[in-house]
Structure 1
Amino acid sequence: MPLSLPDLPALLARRAHLPGEGTTVFRAAHTTETGGVFALDMAGDAGVLSLYADLTAQEEVRLAAACGALPGVAGVYLKRRPVEARHAANVAREWLAPPEPVWGEARPEVVALENGVPFLLRPGADLSIGLFTDARPLRAWVREQVPVGGRVLNTFAYTCGFGLNAALGGAGAVKNVDLSRKVLAWGQENYALSGLPAPDTDFLYGDVFEWLRRLAKRGDAFDLVILDPPSFARGKSGVWRAEQDYGRLAALAANVTAPGGRLLAMTNHAGLTGAAFERMTTAGLGEAGRRGRPGARLGAGEDYPGAAHLKAQVWTLD
């Protein structure tokens, strides 16, 4: 069946208010609006086109050109996202995420805004460009709700968007943990864009599970713990699957959450229902001997209409 293009200008127009509100990195067209074939993100004036269906070379070119014809788009980068790519790290990486634009001008680095906060984005660097736009409401919640002067632990930090928002919200101390030195250094660059100090001691390199055990052993406690794990990963601790292992992660996080502190638990696993996610988290807290009072439920932003993959729950621990 030939590729049928939706009305991309009309979809982009639905998000026209976002730049005026200080957000220039957002989803311009979600898969629910394109028949599941593709998604388009805007990162400043760079378009990032993600394909979820096999298209011919001619169809890819046609689609990229249609995205490039949108107002304000200088270049278009392509990300091919077949299902198997989600579990095949470093396989055919340049085919999955070509480093050069497939249409228009190159934008190796772009500084774009989210709710007025600048982020350094790299549209051609990899499948992930530096910020997951679906979690914008969650980062806003952190900035608004973080206890002033409190201690925050941001796990699976990636480029430290949650940690940065916690610091901007008035946290007294923020620790960002990730298994990649590269993304932690990227996070330090994001801190610098907002004029915030970024000492190496606040960017903890290593396996999150090991760090949670280490922090608990030395008696560290945090007023807010942020859990943003991938759905699937391989690491020193073995294979991680959110649908099987989230309770174990919640238990470790509970061990470093101060009494009265809050846990922001989230998952982007589309196959994990909200009810199952809540049961797993509750069980994990119980395993750690803690009781949690569920609070706000959060999800993806308005630029993800009909999306149900991202689920987040705030817990206050006794």
Structure 2
Amino acid sequence: MKNEMTVTVKDQLKNELVKGSPLITKEGLRGEIDAPQGTLLRLVDEDGQFLATGYYGEQNKGVGWVLTRNQDEAIGQAFIERKFETALSRREDFFNNPETTAFRVFNGEGDGLGGLTIDFYAGFYLLSWYSEGVYSLRDEVVAALQNVTNCIGIYEKKRFDTKGQYIEDDDYVAGERGEFPLIVKENGMNFAVYLNDGAMTGIFLDQRDVRQAIRTKYAEGKTVLNTFSYTGAFSVAAALGGADKTTSVDLAKRSSAKTIEQFSINGIDFEEQDILVMDVFNYFKYAKRKGLAFDVVVLDPPSFARSKKFIFSAAKDYTGLMKQAIDITAPQGLIVASTNSASFNMKKFTHMIEKAFKDTDQKYKIVETFTLPADFHVDRRYQEGDYLKVLFLRLL
């Protein structure tokens, strides 16, 4: 980030920046940014007064992030090291917990550098880049991380392709190459992760507290349906929590082998569980037709999904999905309603659920609520960063 330009912001964005928001929006700027991504932006108001220094990096939320509100602070490796040291100190309890060896150590704008997240996997660090702009800091970020941690090795995921596709590349960056699967622990459970195999690693770390709640409070003696199951992490938690049986449903063909792997490394007989490769929407119809009913239904769809017959958007379609889940949940059963969509807040999510129950003439109560866990540090001045919304719903 050697280039720098001065950009004037409109009053509305100025007010947001003064309140502490780290997001730079396109509509909040006077004119276009005629510069390469990664350019430092000196943000000033209409009177030319300095507001903040940020960087230009286009992603779905905006065109950049604030880095500092001190106009004399230089942006470089030393700046990044200070951010990392603060973030690492916030996760000290995680580093000292041998029962959990996978967690987030740097959470983008929540830790002061939007567009970059870093996850820890049993000594390895995984960098996720969300814009070309922040990727221009790659060398400084890697050097800073090596300076402030005892990392075994570093891997990366580049998630900023303009066509919305993950950029396939050699994900190895520095240090030792890992041997995969790498087995990590989460509250004593084992999970197999791959840092070198496409966009996903095999586990979503932000659901740690939800999995622990299912395992310790809700699974024992129950039948559990895990929809959009991915590698079956919720199913593993339920099985270890004493579930009578788990059913995992996901459209991806590789989900079956991945789920079998997760069961196996936890000493669970996968043949005693149901693992189905099929469209979740078709499964709902099948289950209703067969009169199936589950004690616990986990409903954690992607924000956007496409199959041969369906296009699903959480913002538009979650209510309809919830109605189908209600239809196959046993009386007094539990639905774990979850979404990671950042396009709406918890209030709107609750309204979607209310409508589903009203439309099906069912009653419910919320027994637990979860947002992002502690390692996914959120800037309280930018609550949009707290994207995870999970409600445990008891049918009445």
TM-score (norm 1): 0.92
* Contact 1:251 1:286 survives alignment (8 Å): no
Distance in 1 between the 2:127 and 2:116 partners?
A: 7
Structure 2 runs not aligned, ≥5 long: 1-39, 41-74, 379-384
CA distances 1:96-130 after superposition (whole Å, capped 9, x unpaired):
xx334111221143111111111100011122111
1:25 maps onto 2:99 in alignment: no
What percent of counterpart residues are identical? 29
Distance in 1 between the 2:232 and 2:295 partners?
A: 18
Distance in 1 between the 2:125 and 2:113 partners?
A: 19
SS at match of 1:199: helix
Distance in 2 between the 1:106 and 1:124 partners?
A: 10
* Contact 2:246 2:273 survives alignment (8 Å): no
Distance in 1 between the 2:193 and 2:182 partners?
A: 5
Distance in 2 between the 1:84 and 1:58 partners?
A: 16
Note the C-alpha offset of 1:66.
2.1
**Aligned counterpart for 1:8 among listed residues 65, 69, 84:** 84
1:72 maps onto 2:173 in alignment: no
Distance in 2 between the 1:304 and 1:8 partners?
A: 14
Residue aligning to 2:253: 181
* Contact 2:223 2:245 survives alignment (8 Å): yes
Q: Which has the larger radius of gyration?
A: 2
Residue aligning to 1:271: 343
* Contact 1:130 1:159 survives alignment (8 Å): yes
Aligned residues: 311
* Contact 1:23 1:113 survives alignment (8 Å): yes
* Contact 1:99 1:126 survives alignment (8 Å): no
Higher relative contact order (CA 8 A, sep 6+): 1
Distance in 1 between the 2:93 and 2:236 partners?
A: 24
**Aligned counterpart for 1:111 among listed residues 183, 191, 197:** 183
* Contact 1:188 1:198 survives alignment (8 Å): yes
Residue aligning to 1:41: 119
* Contact 2:319 2:352 survives alignment (8 Å): yes
Distance in 2 between the 1:57 and 1:177 partners?
A: 36
* Contact 1:154 1:176 survives alignment (8 Å): yes
1:158 maps onto 2:226 in alignment: no
1:149 maps onto 2:221 in alignment: yes
Note the C-alpha offset of 1:9.
3.0
Distance in 2 between the 1:200 and 1:296 partners?
A: 29
* Contact 1:152 1:175 survives alignment (8 Å): yes
Note the C-alpha offset of 1:56.
7.5
* Contact 1:176 1:203 survives alignment (8 Å): yes
AA of the residue aligned to 1:13: S
* Contact 1:207 1:236 survives alignment (8 Å): no
CA distances 1:40-91 after superposition (whole Å, capped 9, x unpaired):
0011121110112324876212212322334331111111223856xx3xx4
Distance in 2 between the 1:115 and 1:109 partners?
A: 19
Note the C-alpha offset of 1:92.
5.7
AA of the residue aligned to 1:26: F
Change (3 A) 1:218 1:49: same
Distance in 1 between the 2:85 and 2:294 partners?
A: 45
**Aligned counterpart for 1:225 among listed residues 286, 297, 309:** 297
TM-score (norm 2): 0.74
AA of the residue aligned to 2:331: P
Distance in 1 between the 2:387 and 2:316 partners?
A: 16
Distance in 2 between the 1:297 and 1:211 partners?
A: 27
Change (3 A) 1:103 1:147: closer
* Contact 1:138 1:299 survives alignment (8 Å): no
* Contact 1:157 1:177 survives alignment (8 Å): yes
**Aligned counterpart for 2:160 among listed residues 82, 86, 96:** 82
SS at match of 2:264: helix
**Aligned counterpart for 1:293 among listed residues 365, 373, 376:** 365
Distance in 1 between the 2:320 and 2:143 partners?
A: 46
Change (3 A) 1:46 1:227: same
Change (3 A) 1:239 1:16: same
**Aligned counterpart for 1:204 among listed residues 266, 269, 276:** 276
Distance in 2 between the 1:43 and 1:166 partners?
A: 23
- What aligned pairs does 1:125-140 form with structure 2 within 5 A after superposition? 125-140=197-212
AA of the residue aligned to 2:106: A
CA RMSD of aligned residues (A): 1.9
